[in-house]
Amino acid sequence: MFLQGLKNHAVTMFEVGKLADESLDSFLAELEKVVPEEEIQGEALRYFHHAINLRKLVRFLRHNPALAVENPLSTEPSGGLGVDLLRCESLRGLDQASLNRVLKKNYSLLLSLAPMSNEARPVCPLVPPHIGCPIPEVHSIWFRLFVYTLIDSHPATVVYRKGEVLKTLPKVFLDYDYLMLIPWGHDSAVIPTSIALSLVNDALRHHPVLLQAHGASVDADLVYVPFPMSTAENADPSSFESHPAVRKLRDVLNLNTTCGYITLMNMSSSAVRHGRRSAFAEMEDGNDSDSLSVKSEESLLGERKMEKDSDWLVVECTYGIPVFLESLSDEICRRIVANRICSGENLTRLEEANRDTAQLLLEFIISHQDQSLRISFTHGPPGLETEDGKDVVAVPTRTLSVLHGRIK
């Protein structure tokens, strides 16, 4: 499935850090050759879907008049803007001043793909406008905690500082067969509660850790709610956009100025009444967290009806256009055009919304860790620095638990 021509483009992206617009015709031609094979499954099937969705997304963005004609920063003709694919890790090799200069000189608009690996730190400039994470800290467990303090519909969650040793799991987790484990700077994993204590303590030797209730099955019942969303007062009450927590996040974070999706999980008893097998039986069957987006793809977009909003909890809010689910990506692209996200008027609102969200999140981080930090605007977008002016990535230094919107 992974053709030699596609490998060459992957090597270029890794070594150079960019696929320029001039090379995208060749790149898209190679993606056309990617076809499914009957024996493809698991991780390989996931990569296949990503390749197909990336191909559609590049075609949507590239030279699309609906995305460029409204952009006051663009000097391109009305036929639309060209597209470069950039690798965040390569951009991070530049100092902040050089990075700002390169982006401002070469680009009219930045748009993030999602989800990004937790091992990567996103690039979030003020100029050019960025449709994606307002600041890098949004792509961390800090933002998940912050979101939960804005609402009361979320899974029980605890963040442990690095080096802590647990003698027992909190009682709030004992009602669940599975937990979500997210070490700082690493991707999440769904783990059986029966062996969670040893796995958490092992991870805490190297990183702070977020531990979260997941449910009675590896295959959680998930729904993705895309944004921007409708603001109609007479919206269908059975729509997932009408969920009180979703509406609250839409308004507080100004999500209608940008794009992305909110993940909801069904934690009701009816969601798992199909049978609760032991954790070890699930593992022997070969189930893992990577299979979630493949198994239940048909219902993930939320086209079904929401019977009871209290059954559905917000798991996370993700900025950017996803490449893992075709229907979700297509819907977000449609809404970008319909809501004129790339218009000059909206890009001005987007900059203000990003600043407001960044300010709220950084204040939250400062108030819930032990270092003496302050907010800095030295490099353009807000960031954290020590009292002597050194930039810093703030990691959790306290054990924090959040339940029903309250943190302690």
Q: How much of the chain, in percent, has pLDDT values that exceed 90?
A: 46
DSSP characters for 189-248?
Answer: EEEEGGGHHHHHHHHHTTS-EEEEEEESSSS--EEEEEES----TT--TTSGGG-HHHHH
Q: Is the pLDDT of residue 263 over 60?
A: yes
pLDDT, mean of residues 43-59 = 83
Q: How many CB atoms lie within 10 A of CB 170?
A: 13
pLDDT, mean of residues 366-390 = 84
DSSP β-ladder status, 373-376 and 383-386? antiparallel
What is the average pLDDT value for the chain, to the nearest integer? 83
Q: Is the pLDDT of residue 45 over 80?
A: no
The C-alpha atoms of residue 116 and residue 122 are separated, in whole angstroms, by 8
Q: Is the pLDDT of residue 275 over 50?
A: no
- Both tokens of 29, joined, read 């031609």
Cα angle for residues 117, 385, 95 (degrees, 5° grid)? 60
End-to-end CA distance of the chain: 49
pTM above 0.75, yes or no: yes
At 100, give phi and psi (nearest 5°): -60, -40
Q: Higher model confidence: residue 358 or residue 50?
A: 358
User: Which DSSP symbol is given to 391?
Assistant: B
The C-alpha atoms of residue 128 and residue 319 are separated, in whole angstroms, by 17
Output Rg (C-alpha) for the chain, integer angstroms: 21
Tell me the per-residue pLDDT of 12-37, one tens digit each, with 9 for 90 and over: 878 888 888 998 888 888 888 777 66
- Both tokens of 248, joined, read 């609250």
Q: Higher model confidence: residue 178 or residue 124?
A: 178
pLDDT, mean of residues 212-224 = 86
Q: Higher model confidence: residue 162 or residue 123?
A: 162
The C-alpha atoms of residue 201 and residue 163 are separated, in whole angstroms, by 8
Identify the pLDDT of residue 5: 67
- Both tokens of 96, joined, read 């902040």
Identify the pLDDT of residue 367: 92
Identify the pLDDT of residue 48: 78
